Structure 1
Amino acid sequence: ICHYCRTKQVRVVRAEGLVPRRESPLVVILRAAPLSEGELRDAALPALGLLRALHALCRHWHTLYRAACLPDHRPLVPNAEFINAKLAAKANRQLQDPLVIMTGNLPPWLKKIAYACPFVLPFECRHLLFYVVSFDRDRALQRLLEAGGERGGGGAAGGADERVAPRLDRRKRTVQRHNVLRQAEHVMHEFAHSKALLEIQYENEVGTGLGPTLEFYALVSQELQRADLDLWHGSENFKQKPTSFGGEIVKSQPPVVTDRSADAAARLASSVRDALNLDEERAPEPSDLEKETSIPSPAPDATYVSWPCGLFPQAVGRNARASHVSRAKAKFRFLGKFMAKAVMDSRMVDIPLSVSMYRWLVSEEKWLSLSDVRHVAPELWRSLCRLRRVAERARVIALDSRQSAEQKTQLISGLELDGCPIEELGLDFILPGDGCTELRRGGRDLPVTAHNLHNYIDLVTHWLLYEGVTKQMEAFREGFESVFPLANLKIFYPEEMEQVFCGSPSGGRDQRWEPRMLAECIRPDHGYNAESRAIRMLIDILASYNREEQRLFLQFVTGSPRLPTGGFKALNPPLTVVRKSLESSLDPDEYLPSVMTCVNYLKLPDYTSAEVMRGKLRLAASEGQHSFHLS
């Protein structure tokens, strides 16, 4: 969109409160030809076009209906059903041949089909192709060798490391732990665009290589989630001061109730609370999806923003201080460089972003609608949906040709939400949870009524998801594209982006590791074998870990709290557990396990019981973080 048109749209939104017409994803996809005859000549092109249309209908079916408030928008047909096994096998044979990568002789049809119809290839295949088309030959070859390990070393990639080896330049930088975010900004400014592999070492620590580097990305990821940076939606809720919940539709000042009895005022307050889902006794039972994305009350001493639905930029109003906007843009520009460099070097970040933010990364921001608010502020989404039902009733009345204009006005004015007129909810055209961002000119003095309720919902959605975050996301794109083109990510879908940037999904809080999977992935050595008592105890202990315990263990053993895409099987090298050597006169129960994070190597004493092993692992994982010394 040209700068002039963009500026004109912003002026219309701010002055008149008119939201630009939202693009329909179905119309955009169906109008665009997947491949032209000039690009690729094949009898299968019409079939691919039909599959593309069917896949779009399955993914975006809800846009054909007024289904923004349905809690479940899963595809009608699972994505796995669209994968073409024969085409995937042919693509894998090409991608797993080191000679194809070294000579740059990738068939042209593979990239064109993968970007036009990503659904026909599995994620793992597209992930490898992404590295081949986005980066230099050595990085693609390195990713191929890692992928060969994930597949068990079979096929053409199995012996690739014996014939070829990537020659990646390495740049080492030493940083201090006490101010890692500021130093990371300097490092990325200097090296983000470099093709060299970035390695990190900490001042006054001897450790170097993969482990400290992975921890660097994890530490910077955590620092970027600090509440005092005011980068993320709902940051105020996690600061160390009392504040109102950022997802509620509440005014900074409660409405003044006059000419009413005490009972009427109490009824009004109760209705407002019920309308905003603040009254637990009267609120309807949430669905399973809503339970998964419900927002917990923040701890009073919390200093980091953490939402189950993921992080989304904090909307910035037009009256925000220039210094605040400048700081936010600088941080998001750095975030773009940081995430792009992490992907480029096959590192993982630990920033749980919302699916709605990932839609910005694949240029789907014009498709964002009320249904996407549930991935940013679930409580606000539920409140807006309740108001939307009233707005729909007003729309039906307005379209009723049997009523006169005066009758329509009276009927719409009489609409209520749980017995409370809309005018008496005390809402105005201010962004909920913000208190200072006007949704339109004069919005602070413009009350929300049943007549303008639909416009209010549209403006809240538009400002929260698009207008209020455009500057930050443009800065993010600018930083990202200084490393490699953001358009290369279009080979993935928004819900797959977490795997691209963060590795294997962490799952729910109660999701456990399977004992059988652990037994297959752990490599016992030097004093232990698969039948050793210590190995069996370790597997049982790891299988009982919840998500937080899993993250602590992974951070201790690998340097990162996340597993790579593919889970334990994708660890390269695999997790190796050896017996820690001690003199025969020493009691193993008195010693802690130690690790070599660069090679995922755990030195485990032969403890006398599972209880002792559990306690020592917990102590080592919680107290042995953030330090790389010789053991």
Structure 2
Amino acid sequence: MISIINENIQKSSSTNLTSNDPKDVCTIEDILELLRQLFYLSNTYVQNNPHPYHADENLSLENYFYSKKLNNKLLQQIQDSIIIASSSLPIWTEWLTHSYTFLYPFETRQLYFRTTSFGTSRSIVWLQERRDELIRAARTGGLLRPLGGSTTAATTTLSSFRAASNSNENSSSTSNVFVPEFRLGRLKIDRATPIDREHILRDAMNLFHYHAQSKAKLEIQFLNEEGTGDGPTLEFYALIATDLQKHSLGIWWHHDDHEHNQTIYVRKLEGLFPVPYSQNDERLDTVCNYFSLMGIYFAKCLLDKYLIDMPLSIAFLKLLCMKSKYNNDSNI
């Protein structure tokens, strides 16, 4: 990598800087690619030489690559309800957040993902939830949770609400903010057929096969039980995570001494990693079905903001995220 960069530097230094050839003009893409290489080199150096930084454990070279102006500009775009609801974000937002992630803090990228990745209906619901938070903060005089870790945009928006409140004749103080109530629509809820606790994975496969394309929120009720809503739904997701870790499924690599311990679940300090199978193995189709279920299951958890206990290994997470095995990104 160093030799390639040195070679490019030597070539560029030998060219005539006053040339009118358009090929010699440095573009924005060239600058971004240079920043990408510098970011990679800095991370590689820190990973290979950690000792010089023991004196200051809070030192993070990533902070030097964050662009405050781009971060604030992206947050302004995300806050515009019309842009979000109409899916009219500028092309550069997706280009930069996906191709040059080092320009933005993790919180901002996570917020962009949550705002834009689940369809218009989910975006509208998110905007309404955000608006409700802002109204409560204005009425109580409390602090608004910042967008993407930045307090600037949140403070500006909150101030505008309070200014509108003071100018309204029906409001005598900032604690009585007058904001007309409105709803563009509510999140659709699909109530699944009763799930058998004794056959969680079987029923989950049948349910997700039908529900995979739906953006509606899923609610679960168990067979011969009265409860429904968030409680049984959370338990359903937790039971899937537990059953997917069973030795009997044959989908996770484990130590050879499993037969002596007779444990039900795969427990590895390194985390879960798929066991390799040959292309002619008769169990391959069944194993692929389990991983297909797992993919839909993870997507539903992201969609409905459920946290699950699934100790996947870092190596497997990198494969899922299409990361290099040498990439030690802490945000994976």
Is 1:305 equivalent to 2:266 in the alignment? yes
Q: Deviation of residue 356 (structure 1)?
A: 1.2
Work out whether residues 128 and 183 of structure 2, in 8 Å CA contact, stay in contact via their aligned partners in 1: no
Structure with a larger share of its residues in helix: 2
**Counterpart position of 2:34:** 50
CA distance in 2, matches of 1:165, 1:343: 23
**Counterpart position of 2:176:** none
Determine helix, strand or coil for the equivalent of 1:323. Answer: coil
Work out whether residues 230 and 236 of structure 1, in 8 Å CA contact, stay in contact via their aligned partners in 2: no
Which one of the candidate residues 213, 216, 227 is aligned to 1:193? 213
Work out whether residues 141 and 165 of structure 1, in 8 Å CA contact, stay in contact via their aligned partners in 2: yes
Q: Deviation of residue 86 (structure 1)?
A: 2.5
**Counterpart position of 2:187:** 168
Determine helix, strand or coil for the equivalent of 1:363. Answer: coil
The alignment yields a C-alpha RMSD, in angstroms, of 3.7
Aligned length: 267
**Counterpart position of 1:221:** 241
Q: Which amino acid counterpart does residue 316 of structure 1 have in structure 2?
A: Y
Equivalent residues in 2 for 1:570-585 (5 A)? none
- Check 1:134–1:198 CA distance in 2 against 1; reply closer, same or farther (3 A cut): same
Q: Deviation of residue 206 (structure 1)?
A: 2.9
**Counterpart position of 2:95:** 112
| CA displacement, residues 340-384 of structure 1 (integer Å, 9 cap, x when unaligned) | 2222333333212122112212323xx43xx79xxxxxxxxxxxx
Which one of the candidate residues 324, 331, 334 is aligned to 2:293? 334
- Check 1:111–1:139 CA distance in 2 against 1; reply closer, same or farther (3 A cut): same
User: Considering only CA atoms, is the larger Rg found in Structure 1 or Structure 2?
Assistant: 1
- Identical pairs, percent: 30
Determine helix, strand or coil for the equivalent of 2:306. Answer: coil
CA distance in 2, matches of 1:157, 1:348: 30
TM-score by length of 1: 0.38
Is 1:151 equivalent to 2:148 in the alignment? no
CA distance in 2, matches of 1:185, 1:235: 28
Which one of the candidate residues 306, 321, 331 is aligned to 1:362? 321
TM-score by length of 2: 0.68
**Counterpart position of 1:207:** 227
CA distance in 2, matches of 1:97, 1:82: 26
Equivalent residues in 2 for 1:466-545 (5 A)? 495-497=330-332
Query: What 5-or-longer segments of structure 2 have no aligned partner?
Result: 9-25, 50-56, 134-143, 148-153, 162-178
Is 1:78 equivalent to 2:37 in the alignment? no
Query: What 5-or-longer segments of structure 1 have no aligned partner?
Result: 1-23, 32-41, 68-73, 243-299, 373-492, 498-631
**Counterpart position of 1:353:** 312
| CA displacement, residues 268-311 of structure 1 (integer Å, 9 cap, x when unaligned) | xxxxxxxxxxxxxxxxxxxxxxxxxxxxxxxx463212223221
CA distance in 2, matches of 1:304, 1:101: 43
**Counterpart position of 1:424:** none
| CA displacement, residues 139-159 of structure 1 (integer Å, 9 cap, x when unaligned) | 123344566758269565998
- Check 1:84–1:145 CA distance in 2 against 1; reply closer, same or farther (3 A cut): farther
Q: Which amino acid counterpart does residue 267 of structure 2 have in structure 1?
A: S
| CA displacement, residues 87-119 of structure 1 (integer Å, 9 cap, x when unaligned) | 212211221232221132322221111112111
Work out whether residues 231 and 313 of structure 1, in 8 Å CA contact, stay in contact via their aligned partners in 2: yes
Q: Which amino acid counterpart does residue 198 of structure 1 have in structure 2?
A: L
Work out whether residues 100 and 106 of structure 1, in 8 Å CA contact, stay in contact via their aligned partners in 2: yes
Work out whether residues 195 and 203 of structure 2, in 8 Å CA contact, stay in contact via their aligned partners in 1: yes
Work out whether residues 235 and 305 of structure 1, in 8 Å CA contact, stay in contact via their aligned partners in 2: no
CA distance in 2, matches of 1:161, 1:46: 49
- Check 1:231–1:195 CA distance in 2 against 1; reply closer, same or farther (3 A cut): same
Determine helix, strand or coil for the equivalent of 2:197. Answer: coil
- Check 1:327–1:198 CA distance in 2 against 1; reply closer, same or farther (3 A cut): same
| CA displacement, residues 196-222 of structure 1 (integer Å, 9 cap, x when unaligned) | 221112223333222322221111011
Q: Deviation of residue 128 (structure 1)?
A: 2.2
Q: Deviation of residue 185 (structure 1)?
A: 1.0
Which one of the candidate residues 71, 82, 85 is aligned to 1:88? 71
CA distance in 2, matches of 1:62, 1:230: 38
**Counterpart position of 2:111:** 128
Q: Which amino acid counterpart does residue 58 of structure 1 have in structure 2?
A: S
Work out whether residues 310 and 353 of structure 1, in 8 Å CA contact, stay in contact via their aligned partners in 2: yes
Q: Which amino acid counterpart does residue 63 of structure 2 have in structure 1?
A: A
Work out whether residues 217 and 350 of structure 1, in 8 Å CA contact, stay in contact via their aligned partners in 2: no
Greater relative contact order structure (CA < 8 Å, 6+ sep) = 1
**Counterpart position of 2:169:** none
Q: Deviation of residue 184 (structure 1)?
A: 0.8
